[in-house]
Amino acid sequence: MRGGLSYRDAGVDLDAAERAKDRLKELVASTRDRYTLSELGAFGGLYEVPGDIERPVLVSSADGVGTKLKVAFAAARHDTVGRCLVNHCVNDILVQGARPLFFLDYLAAGEMDERVVHDVVRGVAEACRENRCALLGGETAQMTGFYAPGEYDLAGFVVGVVPKARVLDGSAIRAGDALVGLASTGLHTNGYTLARRIVFDVMGLDVGDEMPGTGRSVGEELLAVHRSYLPVLRGPIEDGRIRGLAHVTGGGIPGNLPRVLPEGLGAVVERSSWPTPAVFGTLQEHGGIDRDEMDRVFNMGVGMIAITAREEVSAVVEAASAAGVAAWPIGSVGPGEGVVYR
């Protein structure tokens, strides 16, 4: 006679979870550095604070990938969203001058698809190596009945460090300072609810169809990896060339640039000072979206803004170019509040 119910009968496969975790050990180990004191499987991750930093300040952030995940589900491609997650979080603490120390991820799904879990975490590990931070641990949760079949959620948590004397808090920004825009790779991880509505519902496209004007498929364009600006900006930050940074995420330039400006200062942004990538023109045209709404929802081709003294603009642009990232002077800081476009 058959016995009582098991966890597997209820939809949670512990054996699959264990196999998935075993496959992740090598990925996690590949991100270890000399300060990593624990291995995957410990209840808590251990990381030694580097001792060569004067008055170290820890900087932390948490974020997700949003509905970009819906595109990954439709395309059955899961190796880019983990990189997007890490890079987004790294950029958020870079704004305050910090370099990442370690990262934690959280992946939850209704059922354990070992291949999908491996692909997602492989992307996380790749980005951790690229940003020189340790993937210290995380959580992979099976939540049967909570998520739709084939879907999952993904979040990440980063901790970085900056010497207290070099914290970027906006206090050094002055009227007359210049804005340098650094190119995005596309939508990054924001605006996807509107973009998906336009592309899939209004335009009637599928992930394998060509995205008009881009020369790429819808899946390729919408799953482009959110760029990390750490390789571009670490040198200028350490050289004291940067007075402030704004990561252009949800809310666009109008919603993010004012967050780093001191009271009494605003910004003028020259719309014509950088080339807007074709994907944004396609979305605006087919969605019939007002330009002001586009500016509030999307990054419009600028993923990070560096605020610097005018005499430092060339050095910042050259540092970006050396790292393979386009950059442009896009405006200035002055008396006022908010962002004014010209």
- One DSSP character per residue, 225-266 reads PPPP-HHHHHHHHHTT--SEEEE--TTHHHHHGGGGSPTTEE
Q: Considering only 10-24, 83-97, 215-229, 281-295, which range has the smallest mean pLDDT?
A: 10-24
Tell me the one-letter amino acid at 213. Answer: G
Average pLDDT of span 272-299: 97
Q: Is the pLDDT of residue 10 over 70?
A: no
Domains in the chain, please, with CATH? 14-38+49-166 (3.30.1330.10), 178-341 (3.90.650.10)
The pLDDT assigned to 269 comes to: 98
Average pLDDT of span 111-120: 92
Spatial separation of the C-alpha atoms in residues 272 and 298, rounded to whole Å: 16
Closest CA to 81 of 45, 110, 117, 113: 117
Tokens of 150: 């084939």
CA atoms within 13 A on the CB side of 289: 22
Q: Is the pLDDT of residue 29 over 90?
A: no
The pLDDT assigned to 1 comes to: 43
Report percent pLDDT > 90 for the chain: 86
Average pLDDT of span 78-88: 97
Contacts 24+ apart (CB under 8 A), 22-30: 23/114, 23/117, 23/118, 24/117, 24/118, 24/121, 24/140, 27/118, 27/121, 27/122, 27/124, 27/125, 27/135, 28/121, 28/125, 28/135, 28/137, 30/125, 30/129
Q: What is the rounded (10 degree) CA torsion for 16, 19, 21, 25?
A: -170
The string of DSSP letters for 26-53 reads HHHHTT--TTB---TTSSS--BPPPTTS
The pLDDT assigned to 120 comes to: 97
Each residue's pLDDT tens digit, 153-162: 999 999 999 9
**18 confidence band (pLDDT: 50, 70, 90):** confident
The pLDDT assigned to 166 comes to: 95
